[in-house]
Amino acid sequence: MKTVHFTKMQGCGNDFVILDYAEYRKSGMFMSDLSRKLCDRHFGIGADGLIIPDYKTNEADVGWYFYNSDGSTAQMCGNGMRCFARYLYDKKLIEKQEFTVKTGAGIITPKILPTNEVTVKMSVPILEVEKIPFLGNKALNYELKLNDITFVGNAISMGNPHFVIFIDGNTMDNAKKYGSQIELNKLFPEKTNVEFVKQISRTELELSVWERGCGITLACGTGACATVVAGILNNFTESKVLVKLPGGAVTIEWQGQEDDTNYPVYLTGSADYTFEGDFIL
């Protein structure tokens, strides 16, 4: 009987299976197939994604392999990075409280705080349409027309593509109704994450996310980052914002502005263990 030992973690309800590389090798499966199997909420452990450390990188202290529940890869995941950082530190796989991780979005720097929270120095946001990638003629305040409605959204990459839409209505209802259509819209060659946002104040936002490769999730760290960048560039928010998601809240800080966006985004939030166990393949 073949088994793999796993750790289950969550950040604001965005949940992940973390598997050491040696355990992955025991599975004898491709990572994409293993992700679909382990993340299945009926026949597997259940999660939004699978994370496996990569100890062989020379460009950072450690790397990672990140797979969505549908077996697709993602360049970056803010909530996953917080969980991954705590896992490595608590398991004594990394001894430093602040270290570097190689991801598909570049080198990311998490820092373990004295509480159960982790601050992640994310990448600089990308607004050049060809780099997002986005086939619209501009990134900010683009009018995207669906069958019976037009959304004004902001295309931003945090190493992965996002389309941020500020609305007055119910964010979750809109995410459920329109998220999939926008994710798969031909304007997004690599598909996109979709954020529906309601402004509560200049320092507080409410956010619901349709996540690329997952669907509705309780939280999305890169989505919260992209949302605050869009809020600042549209002069809706200050530089430090509390973002409330269905699974909890995160704090986002960004010092950029319209004529100078070359600043990293800082994401702070919790990272919690759910359980550990052995899964029979």
| Residues recognised as catalytic | 77, 220
Please state, in angstroms and as integers, the Cα–Cα distance from residue 57 to each residue in 14, 63, 67, 101, following that order: 26, 6, 18, 9
List the one residue out of 52, 113, 45, 103 whose CA is nearest residue 78.
103
User: Do the Cβ atoms of 132 and 139 come closer than 8 Å?
Assistant: yes
List Cβ neighbours of 246 (8 Å cut-off, separation of 6 or more): 13, 172, 208, 218, 219
Pick the closest to residue 16 from 83, 94, 103, 100 (CA basis): 83
CA–CA separation, 272 and 87 (whole Å):
9
CA distances from 154 to 82, 164, 175 (A): 25, 5, 15
Token pair belonging to 44:
């597997």
**Under 8 Å between Cβ of 49 and 217:** no
